[in-house]
């Protein structure tokens, strides 16, 4: 709790560290009611600074100092100053050794930062600033040190003792204890430190690297989960191979370990050689994890593995540079997933997510640039902007440079900065040096917050046979940034003729046409491009593949969108045309609802979706994506003032109408796919994901008709399927259906069957939390009393409370404010238990500006109540105070 310390930290105040730590030797003695940490730090004055010796200020929080020596001299309280956050002392020589012993309490650490216990095992999470809760240290990423770590604990309770690097020694002690020593040969910042001790089993495998070194791979889990790690192991081996092939990056230690932990604030953590994962991002098998969960495991395993180079070998100089490692690594894992599965579907999913959630962040009170200038609590900056928009920035560099130059740039970056802590500027410099392309203006993507808008208009001149596209870019003001300079916006585009073929593209001034899909760089506030040799009025296909994270507008009419849906050679833009058509149709319905008129669905949407369903040649995953109407959260994001009831009513009306009008083709596709699923054992591969996704979205539409044959099919699928994807869909369909008896029975049977599987129970909570039937808040409150629920487990909080506030918009935004009151109560309770989770949970309340006056007042009142509720963590204080500002 540190409201009084909630000071803002600025990038402009960055200074190199006064002292360095060459070696760090740690010994942990683990006990049930406390842990002793001995730290020997071999330090010296930073040689790049003056010879003077300033005061040394070590970070440390919640530590009980038992003993400290400076070069073997025992220090007394007169020799140093202790505060809640620092230990300061005056070194007398340029090189010295500090030895300290502290007592800490992992057994009562509910914040899950530093060393803590989860399901009886010891584990750590040190990023960003958790190491200071383990020992006194220079806890900043530009202090890189060689670590050796000895862990000692009870042999029975903690047979497995792990840390970073390679194991070098182990032995037994008296009293039933044992110890192990690990040595990490690579210098690293403290945030990459890890320790694990527990009763764990592992699956082991081998990987032979490019240069024929053999690496041992181990995934450690609690014994009952040993049957759920094969998918993660396969994903790891694919990631290692992919990083060698695509980036030329090889693994560098003899052993690579992953440990699954049940209580974890984030998805996973890339600690050197010892990745620690939220169990939801490792465990997967057909019976207990959905297709989406399988894909998430593959992506997160890859992400953390890729950090070994983009993050660990080359790390961040300070936390303002977080996107240096996260944006780059998300881009790397997205490309990996695209290569392993369907590229277009992956892109569609990522863009839908970005536009719904990151664009909302960009438009809200916490909007910040990809490289922020200031923060109060760095944990609040593990955001969609740093990760997802950061990845889009990398994708644009890749688009502007082309694959070959980009690879040259990444090679240069890794070679030039191996073993260093660097900045986003260093990364861009490597890309410029390798490609010869000037990225000065492009770097505004790192420093300016907000989502740029790009308005496009056209002019066709039949006599001159020219076609001109006029671009106007702007970017709304964001906190602290009222005026923005033009961005470099790469716009990939094509021009379609009346038959839907791509025209050859030749810009005015060019000698000959080249290509049918090209990238134009829009760099000015207003800019026009003229194509020549255009005989007839073309239809533009703009921002193919979503080549820049902007809001593009072009005055398409609905017939043109239907044409693009059918003919665009770019798969992403076929989907995008469908989304734009749906948005137009839904916005029309929202207007009708607001004016109290009868709702009338534009039949063109029915026609467009019918032709997709009837075309057996199309990729089934694409058909499923195109059948999914834009979500309520996205419709909220693009509204000036979001009308919760009208959005929900309009979308549900459209779904109902589509279900009835398209019953026949949906039913056919459903039955055909269910037949194949019945006869095929579960496979976690793209083609199978595709079949199930179409089957499942068809079922969710079909159930809206309430026909008895659909109920029977749902129950058949629920009971007879062999995998969680089909089972959970059937459950969700029942939960949202009017069939009360069947719903209750299925929920009960599901909980009984899976009561011992925490991850499956998370899904059971989520399905109910997201049900938009009336009475949602009461259901969630009742579920909080369920024996499987606890506020101490972040996955449970996300599954129930997070899903309710984030996905169940009609119930969360009840006009009487009861949903807001409920969320604020949970935030207040969690603030004391786990500040990081409390602060993340708050996000829906911070979006009050999106709503009409009555809701604004209710939401603000709850934010005020949180602010007045007592001692707030820096995490919660920062988000609440900024969103009220
Ligand atoms: N650095 C982690 C990750 O994004 C977050 O803890 O992988
Ligand atoms: Zn990461």
Between CA 467 and CA 494 the distance in angstroms is 12
CB of 304 sitting under 6 A from ligand 1 = yes
pLDDT at 527: 98
At residue 273's C-alpha, the angle toward residues 269 and 274, to 5°, is: 50
- Of ligand 1's listed atoms, the one at least distance from the Cα of 266 is 6
pLDDT at 774: 96
Instruction: Give percent of the chain with pLDDT exceeding 70.
Output: 99
The stretch 336-352 carries a mean pLDDT of 98
- Distance of CA 836 from the midpoint of ligand 1 (Å): 14
Does the pLDDT at position 316 exceed 90? yes
Do residues 21 and 42 make contact, with C-beta atoms less than 8 angstroms apart? yes
- Distance of CA 394 from the midpoint of ligand 2 (Å): 14
Q: What is the pLDDT of residues 497-555, one digit of tens each?
A: 999 999 999 999 999 999 999 999 999 999 999 999 999 999 999 999 999 999 999 99
Does the pLDDT at position 4 exceed 50? no
CB of 129 sitting under 6 A from ligand 1 = no
Residues ≥6 apart with Cβ < 8 Å to 557? none
Nearest to 397 by CA among 362, 370, 365, 357: 370
Mean of all residue pLDDT scores within the chain:
98
Least distant ligand from the CA of 379? 1
- Distance of CA 273 from the midpoint of ligand 2 (Å): 15
User: Which H, E and C letters describe 104-149, residue by residue?
Assistant: ECHHHCCCCCEEEEECCEEEEECCCCCHHHCCCECCCCCCCEEEEE
CB of 303 sitting under 6 A from ligand 1 = yes
pLDDT at 209: 98
Q: What is the pLDDT of residues 591-613, one digit of tens each?
A: 999 999 999 999 999 999 999 99
Does the complex come out with an ipTM higher than 0.85? yes
Q: What is the pLDDT of residues 60-77, one digit of tens each?
A: 999 999 999 999 999 999
Give, for ligand 1, the residue of 269, 836, 840 to mutate: max count of ligand atoms closer than 8 Å to Cβ. Answer: 269
pLDDT at 5: 53
Q: What is the pLDDT of residues 682-725, one digit of tens each?
A: 999 999 999 999 999 999 999 999 999 999 999 999 999 999 99
Torsions phi, psi of 424, nearest 5? -60, -35
pLDDT at 281: 98
Helix (H) or strand (E) holding 219: strand 214-221
- Of ligand 1's listed atoms, the one at least distance from the Cα of 304 is 7
- Of ligand 1's listed atoms, the one at least distance from the Cα of 311 is 1
**Catalytic option among 29, 304, 335, 637:** 304
The stretch 847-876 carries a mean pLDDT of 97
Q: What's the number of CA atoms in the CB half-sphere (13 Å) around residue 688?
A: 18
Give, for ligand 1, the residue of 130, 131, 270 to mutate: max count of ligand atoms closer than 8 Å to Cβ. Answer: 270
Confidence label for 6 from pLDDT (cuts 50, 70 and 90): confident
Confidence label for 790 from pLDDT (cuts 50, 70 and 90): very high
Do residues 281 and 268 make contact, with C-beta atoms less than 8 angstroms apart? yes
Stated pTM of the model: 0.98
Going by the DSSP 8-state scheme, the letter that residue 281 receives in this structure is G
Q: 772: helix, coil or strand? A: coil
Between CA 46 and CA 598 the distance in angstroms is 74
Least distant ligand from the CA of 275? 1
Residues ≥6 apart with Cβ < 8 Å to 465? 532, 533, 534, 535
Nearest to 764 by CA among 740, 743, 794: 743
The stretch 359-385 carries a mean pLDDT of 98
CB of 269 sitting under 6 A from ligand 1 = yes
The stretch 771-783 carries a mean pLDDT of 98
CB of 299 sitting under 6 A from ligand 1 = no
Least distant ligand from the CA of 329? 2
Does the pLDDT at position 644 exceed 80? yes
129 annotated active-site = no
Q: What is the pLDDT of residues 425-463, one digit of tens each?
A: 999 999 999 999 999 999 999 999 999 999 999 999 999
Between CA 224 and CA 214 the distance in angstroms is 29
Least distant ligand from the CA of 191? 1
Least distant ligand from the CA of 130? 1
Do residues 134 and 122 make contact, with C-beta atoms less than 8 angstroms apart? no
CB of 291 sitting under 6 A from ligand 1 = no
Does the pLDDT at position 831 exceed 70? yes
- Distance of CA 391 from the midpoint of ligand 2 (Å): 11
CB of 799 sitting under 6 A from ligand 1 = no
- Of ligand 1's listed atoms, the one at least distance from the Cα of 326 is 4
pLDDT at 2: 47
Give, for ligand 1, the residue of 127, 332, 379 to mutate: max count of ligand atoms closer than 8 Å to Cβ. Answer: 127
Ligand 1 atom 5: residue of nearest CA: 269
Give, for ligand 1, the residue of 302, 307, 330 to mutate: max count of ligand atoms closer than 8 Å to Cβ. Answer: 307
Q: Which residues surround ligand 2, an ion (CB under 5 A)?
A: 326, 329
Q: What is the pLDDT of residues 276-299, one digit of tens each?
A: 999 999 999 999 999 999 999 999
Please report, for residues 185, 242, 497, 530, the alpha-carbon distance to residue 212 in angstroms, rounded to integers and kept in the order given. Answer: 20, 16, 53, 54
At residue 361's C-alpha, the angle toward residues 826 and 306, to 5°, is: 95
Q: 486: helix, coil or strand? A: coil
Between CA 683 and CA 702 the distance in angstroms is 25
Between CA 591 and CA 656 the distance in angstroms is 18
- Radius of gyration of the CA atoms of the chain, in A: 28
Ligand 1 atom 1: residue of nearest CA: 269
Ligand 1 atom 7: residue of nearest CA: 269
- Of ligand 1's listed atoms, the one at least distance from the Cα of 382 is 5
The two tokens of residue 676 are 């194949």
- Distance of CA 254 from the midpoint of ligand 2 (Å): 22
pLDDT at 3: 46
Q: What is the pLDDT of residues 140-187, one digit of tens each?
A: 999 999 999 999 999 999 999 999 999 999 999 999 999 999 999 999
Region label for 516, one of left (φ > 0), alpha (ψ between -120 and 50) or beta (otherwise): alpha
- Distance of CA 574 from the midpoint of ligand 1 (Å): 33
- Distance of CA 268 from the midpoint of ligand 1 (Å): 6
User: Which H, E and C letters describe 391-446, residue by residue?
Assistant: HHHHHHHHHHHCHHHHHHHHHHHHHHHCCCEECHHHHHHHHHHHHCCCCCCCCHHH
Confidence label for 217 from pLDDT (cuts 50, 70 and 90): very high
Q: 173: helix, coil or strand? A: strand
């Amino acid at each position: 709790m540190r409201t009084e310390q909630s000071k803002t930290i600025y990038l402009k105040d960055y200074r190199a560290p006064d002292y360095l730590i060459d070696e760090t030797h740690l010994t942990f003695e683990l006990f049930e009611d406390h842990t002793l940490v001995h730290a020997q730090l071999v330090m010296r004055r930073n040689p790049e600074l003056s010879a003077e010796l300033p005061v040394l200020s070590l970070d440390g929080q919640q530590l009980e100092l038992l003993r400290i020596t400076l070069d073997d001299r025992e220090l007394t309280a007169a020799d140093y100053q202790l505060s809640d956050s620092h230990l300061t002392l005056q070194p007398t020589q340029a090189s010295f050794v500090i030895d300290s012993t502290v007592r800490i309490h992992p057994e009562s650490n509910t914040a899950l930062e530093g060393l803590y216990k989860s399901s009886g095992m010891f584990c750590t999470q040190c990023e960003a600033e958790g190491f200071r809760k383990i020992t006194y240290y220079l806890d900043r990423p530009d202090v890189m040190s060689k670590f050796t770590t000895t862990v000692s604990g009870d042999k029975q309770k903690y047979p497995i003792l792990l840390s970073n690097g390679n194991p070098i020694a182990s032995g037994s002690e008296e009293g039933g204890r044992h110890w192990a020593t690990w040595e990490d040969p690579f210098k690293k910042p403290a945030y990459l430190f890890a320790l694990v001790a527990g009763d764990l089993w592992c699956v082991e495998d081998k990987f032979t690297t490019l240069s024929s070194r053999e690496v041992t791979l181990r995934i450690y889990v609690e014994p009952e989960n040993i049957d759920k790690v094969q998918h993660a192991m396969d994903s790891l081996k694919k990631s290692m191979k992919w990083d060698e092939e695509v980036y030329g990056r090889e693994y560098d230690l003899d052993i690579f370990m992953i440990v699954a932990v049940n209580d974890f604030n984030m998805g996973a953590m890339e600690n050197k050689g010892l990745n620690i994962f939220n169990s939801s991002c490792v465990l997967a098998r057909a019976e207990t994890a959905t297709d989406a969960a399988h894909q998430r495991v593959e992506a997160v395993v890859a992400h953390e593995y890729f950090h070994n180079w983009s993050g660990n070998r080359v790390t961040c100089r300070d936390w303002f540079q977080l996107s240096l490692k996260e944006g780059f690594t998300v881009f790397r894992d997205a490309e990996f997933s695209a290569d392993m599965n369907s590229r277009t579907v992956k892109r569609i999913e990522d863009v839908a997510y970005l536009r719904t959630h990151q664009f909302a962040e960009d438009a809200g009170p916490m909007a910040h640039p990809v490289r922020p200038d200031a923060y109060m609590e760095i944990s609040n900056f593990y955001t969609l902007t740093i990760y997802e928009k950061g990845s889009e920035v990398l994708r644009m560099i890749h688009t502007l440079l082309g694959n070959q130059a980009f690879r040259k740039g990444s090679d240069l970056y890794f070679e030039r900065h191996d073993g260093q802590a660097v900045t986003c500027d260093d990364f861009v410099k490597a890309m410029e040096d390798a490609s010869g392309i000037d990225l000065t203006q492009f770097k505004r993507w790192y420093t300016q917050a907000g989502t740029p808008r790009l308005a496009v208009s056209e002019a066709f001149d039949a006599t001159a046979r020219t076609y001109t596209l006029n671009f106007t870019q702007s970017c709304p003001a964001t906190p602290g940034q009222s005026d923005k300079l033009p961005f470099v916006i790469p716009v990939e585009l094509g021009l379609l003729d009346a038959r839907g073929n791509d025209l050859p593209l030749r810009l005015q001034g060019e000698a000959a046409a080249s290509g049918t899909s090209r990238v134009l760089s829009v760099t000015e506030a207003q800019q026009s491009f003229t194509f020549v040799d255009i005989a007839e009025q073309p239809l533009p296909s703009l921002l193919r593949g979503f080549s820049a994270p902007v809001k593009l507008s072009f005055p398409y009419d609905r017939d043109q969108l239907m044409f693009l849906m059918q003919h665009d050679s770019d798969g992403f833009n076929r989907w995008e045309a469908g989304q734009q058509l749906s948005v137009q149709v839904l916005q029309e319905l929202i207007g009708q609802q607001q004016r109290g008129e009868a709702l009338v669905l534009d039949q063109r949407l029915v026609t467009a979706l019918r032709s997709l369903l009837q075309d057996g040649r199309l990729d089934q995953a694409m058909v499923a994506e195109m059948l999914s109407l834009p979500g309520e959260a996205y419709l909220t994001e693009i509204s000036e003032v979001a009308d919760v009831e009208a959005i929900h009513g309009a979308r549900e009306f459209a779904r109902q109408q589509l279900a009835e009008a398209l019953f026949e083709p949906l039913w056919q596709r459903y039955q055909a796919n269910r037949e194949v699923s019945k006869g095929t054992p579960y496979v976690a591969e793209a083609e199978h994901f595709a079949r199930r996704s179409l089957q499942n979205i068809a079922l969710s539409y079909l159930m809206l008709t309430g026909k008895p044959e659909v109920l029977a099919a749902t129950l058949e699928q629920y009971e007879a399927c062999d995998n969680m994807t089909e089972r959970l869909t059937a459950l969700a369909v029942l939960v949202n259906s009017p069939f009360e008896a069947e719903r209750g029975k299925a929920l009960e049977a599901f909980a009984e069957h899976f009561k011992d599987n925490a991850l499956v129970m998370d899904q059971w909570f989520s399905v109910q939390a997201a049900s938009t039937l009336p009475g949602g808040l009461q259901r969630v409150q009742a579920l909080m009393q369920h024996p499987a629920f606890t506020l101490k487990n972040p996955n449970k909080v996300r599954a129930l409370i997070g899903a309710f506030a984030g996905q169940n918009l009609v119930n969360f935004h009840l006009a009487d404010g009861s949903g807001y009151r409920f969320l604020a109560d949970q935030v207040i309770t969690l603030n004391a238990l786990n500040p990081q989770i409390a602060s993340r949970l708050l996000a829906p309340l911070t979006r009050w500006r999106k709503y009409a006056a009555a809701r604004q007042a209710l939401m603000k009142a709850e934010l005020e109540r949180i602010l007045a509720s007592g001692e707030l963590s820096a995490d919660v204080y920062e988000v609440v105070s900024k969103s009220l500002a």
